[in-house]
């Protein structure tokens, strides 16, 4: 974190400062800000936030022992460390992040980009980081730091030298993105897609649209909203914001688009067209034609921020995977390809992964889909799992292996489809799935492993990748 005095931190988090012996309100703190006591180093700030399973205050003594210079707590603790007592530790974390970003922005040329959408946030964030790093120092989230804790933690990593800050914004309820937007005040807001991811939490698509719209409603006239013109629910957000609109997509009248798409087992080639009229061919190693839309979104935002076409293309061509466990290509032994895409799953991303599997399968060889639960769909879960099973039939996937009771309806829907000449098997555990694949795979087969994180199939994907490496 940039250096702030204890008094400045206290003001930012709206808390009561309790100094330890020998400390003064003018003392500076500039260490990292952590909510995990195991990451504390001498000089760090520890935020003792309550958790779902435990309470951060229980770990404050460990933070003190590891050299924390300051504790932000919801109750005063009997520890020999300066503390700031706040009403809500998570809100305090956000307040501190907002103050740090505002100060850096006022002192320099910091530009902020925020990304939201039902799918593709992490991939787009990673592509943007790669593009912007070619221009200047860039801060972006580690992993999927996109909630009311993760986003502020990313914001707190900016320094006086940071030129670009990329923030991934997820939402589990209406108002969550609006809160993050108010903290960060992005110059560019990107909305990728509106789908059924987290439908169980939002209740319906209308609520999802309202939640994702929060990305653009508070933008200023001097800001830019980057919108997916191919998604009608995203496209209609243009009427909700005073910001300048930049549209991306493959169809219709858009500012940034792709043409001449060709997909295969090594990625996708296409021609990128920017809003300024420039265009260039791109060899994009990330597997899956659906990731081209993420590339277009990143390119649109990067162009707004002054990145050249040359640097945009170089960044895209240097990206070999979307993210760990996201369309990650493994294997190779006996020409067996394993696609590990089991970090997360929604109906949209599951459909896209199956279509990619069907598209890239080697002629004359089998395509095998090892599928687990799509979580957080609420009352839509049964219907959507049925739909995915039927999609696998329509795509003529050679074999389905469905893992876990919560995904079993995919298996039932496939075997009930009499026109399909493929096979479907159901197993209870990833270990059983591993043995089934190992005993049945043929040289040249392509194996997709796809599920929500909670199903744990990403580790099965790794095991299969190691088996055929």
Domain CATH for 140? 3.40.1190.10
Q: Are 330 and 468 in contact (CB under 8 A)?
A: yes
Phi, psi angles (nearest 5°) of residue 355 = -65, -40
> How high is the mean pLDDT of the chain?
92
119 appears as a binding residue in the annotation: yes
Q: How far apart are CA 288 and CA 285, in angstroms?
A: 9
Burial pattern 320-343, b for ≥16 Cβ within 10 A else e, equals: ebbbebbbbbbbeeeebbbbbbbb
120 appears as a binding residue in the annotation: yes
Same domain as 405, residue 436: yes
Same domain as 272, residue 372: no
Tally the domains of the chain. 3
pTM, rounded to two decimals: 0.87
Instruction: Provide the token pair at 27.
Output: 């003392």
Of 87, 117, 135, the last residue of a domain is 87
Q: What is each CA distance from 423 to 224, 339, 366, in whole angstroms?
A: 49, 20, 11
Task: Kindly indicate the confidence band of residue 202, based on its pLDDT and cuts at 50, 70 and 90.
Answer: low
Range from 194-198, 308-312, 392-396 carrying the lowest mean pLDDT = 194-198
- Domain span holding position 82: 4-87
44 appears as a binding residue in the annotation: no
Same domain as 357, residue 313: no
Give the model's pLDDT for residue 207.
Answer: 82
Helical pair 291-304 and 121-132, crossing angle rounded to 10 deg: 40
126 appears as a binding residue in the annotation: no
CATH value at residue 74: 3.40.1390.10
Tens digit of each residue's pLDDT (9 = 90 or more) over 398-435: 999 999 999 999 999 988 876 666 688 999 999 999 99
Residue appearing with tokens 């929060």: 214
Percent of the chain, pLDDT > 70? 96
118 appears as a binding residue in the annotation: yes
Same domain as 406, residue 290: no
Q: Are 422 and 457 in contact (CB under 8 A)?
A: no
Give the model's pLDDT for residue 75.
Answer: 96
Give the model's pLDDT for residue 201.
Answer: 59
Same domain as 290, residue 152: yes
Better-scored residue on pLDDT, 6 or 22: 6
Give the model's pLDDT for residue 317.
Answer: 96
Give the model's pLDDT for residue 108.
Answer: 81
Percent of the chain, pLDDT > 90? 75
Tens digit of each residue's pLDDT (9 = 90 or more) over 340-384: 999 888 898 899 999 999 988 878 899 999 999 998 888 888 999
Average pLDDT score over residue span 273-287: 95
CA angle 442, 445, 450 (to 5 degrees): 120
pLDDT for 79 beyond 90: yes
Q: Are 83 and 136 in contact (CB under 8 A)?
A: no
Better-scored residue on pLDDT, 415 or 48: 48
117 appears as a binding residue in the annotation: yes
Give the model's pLDDT for residue 199.
Answer: 54
pLDDT for 251 beyond 80: yes
Of 296, 317, 338, the last residue of a domain is 317
Give the model's pLDDT for residue 124.
Answer: 95
Q: Output helix, strand, coil percentages for the chain, rounded to the nearest 5.
A: 40, 20, 40
450 appears as a binding residue in the annotation: no
Q: Are 215 and 190 in contact (CB under 8 A)?
A: yes
Task: Kindly indicate the confidence band of residue 203, based on its pLDDT and cuts at 50, 70 and 90.
Answer: low
CA torsion angle 235 243 105 152 (round to 10): -40
Q: How far apart are CA 71 and CA 77, in angstroms?
A: 9
Tell me the sheet residues that pair with 262. 269
Phi, psi angles (nearest 5°) of residue 67 = 105, 20
């Amino acid at each position: 974190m940039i250096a702030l005095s204890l008094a400045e931190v206290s003001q930012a988090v709206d808390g009561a400062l309790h100094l330890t012996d020998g400390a003064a309100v003018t003392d500076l703190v500039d260490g990292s800000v952590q909510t995990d006591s195991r990451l504390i180093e001498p000089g760090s700030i520890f935020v003792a936030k309550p958790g779902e399973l435990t309470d951060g205050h229980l770990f404050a003594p460990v933070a003190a022992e590891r050299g924390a210079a300051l504790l932000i707590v919801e109750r005063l603790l009997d520890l020999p460390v300066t503390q700031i007592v706040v009403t809500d530790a998570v809100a305090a974390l956000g307040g501190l992040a907002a103050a740090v970003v505002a100060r850096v922005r006022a002192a320099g040329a910091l530009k902020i980009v925020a990304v939201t959408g039902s799918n593709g946030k992490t991939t787009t964030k990673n592509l943007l980081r790669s593009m912007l790093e070619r221009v200047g120092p860039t801060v972006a989230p580690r992993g999927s730091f996109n909630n009311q804790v993760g986003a502020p933690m990313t914001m707190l990593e900016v320094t006086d030298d940071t030129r670009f800050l990329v923030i991934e914004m997820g939402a589990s309820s209406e108002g969550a993105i609006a809160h993050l937007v108010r903290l960060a005040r992005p110059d560019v807001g990107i909305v990728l897609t509106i789908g059924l991811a987290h439908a169980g939490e939002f209740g319906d698509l209308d609520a999802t649209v309202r939640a994702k719209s929060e990305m653009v409603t508070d933008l200023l006239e001097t800001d830019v909203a980057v919108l997916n013109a191919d998604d009608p629910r995203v496209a209609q957000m243009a009427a909700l914001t005073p910001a300048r609109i930049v549209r991306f997509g493959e169809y219709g009248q858009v500012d940034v688009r792709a043409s001449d798409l060709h997909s295969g087992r090594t990625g996708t080639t296409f021609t990128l067209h920017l809003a300024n009229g420039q265009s260039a061919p791109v060899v994009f190693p990330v597997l899956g034609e659906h990731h081209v839309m993420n590339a277009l979104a990143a390119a649109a935002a990067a162009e707004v921020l002054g990145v050249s076409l040359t640097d945009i293309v170089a960044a895209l061509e240097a990206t070999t995977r979307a993210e760990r466990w996201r369309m990650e290509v493994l294997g190779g032994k006996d020409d067996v390809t394993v696609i590990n895409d089991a970090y997360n799953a929604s109906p949209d991303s599951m459909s896209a992964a199956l279509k990619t599997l069907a598209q890239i399968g080697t002629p004359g060889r089998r395509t095998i889909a090892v599928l687990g639960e799509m979580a957080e769909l609420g009352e839509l879960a049964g219907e959507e799992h049925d739909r995915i099973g039927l999609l696998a039939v329509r795509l003529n996937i050679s074999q389905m292996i469905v893992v876990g009771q919560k995904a079993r309806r995919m298996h039932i829907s496939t075997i009930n489809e009499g026109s399909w000449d493929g096979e479907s098997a159901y197993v209870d555990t990833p270990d059983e799935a591993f043995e089934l694949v190992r005993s049945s795979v043929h040289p040249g087969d392509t194996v997709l492993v796809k599920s929500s994180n909670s199903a744990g199939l990403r580790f099965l994907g790794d095991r299969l990748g190691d088996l055929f490496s």
